[in-house]
Amino acid sequence: MTDPAPMFCPRCKAPMNHHAEKLVEPRDAEEAARMDFALGGLVEECYACPACGESASRPAVPRRRP
């Protein structure tokens, strides 16, 4: 879905590996405004650190269409 900028581990600052994407329900009005109605929620990117094992996530940014 995205071509994200690298995510760095909040614990050890190493570049993290993109692990998965998951669909989550919006928690507030701001997230509901960004919801993808075709999917029924928001897409969140999940990452894992190869150095220390920490995991982290962030909202996915939709790709721009050419």
pLDDT tens digits for range 29-44: 998 998 888 999 999 9
Whole-number Cα distances in Å, 9 to 16, 26, 41, 48: 6, 25, 26, 8
> Is 56 within 8 Å of 7 (Cβ atoms)?
yes
First-last CA distance in the chain: 14
DSSP state of 5: P
DSSP state of 64: P
The residue ranges of every structural domain in the chain are: 1-66
Q: Which tokens is 33 given?
A: 């405004």
pLDDT tens digits for range 9-34: 999 999 999 999 999 999 999 989 98
Per-residue pLDDT averaged across 42-66, rounded? 87
> Is 63 within 8 Å of 3 (Cβ atoms)?
yes
pTM flag (> 0.85): no
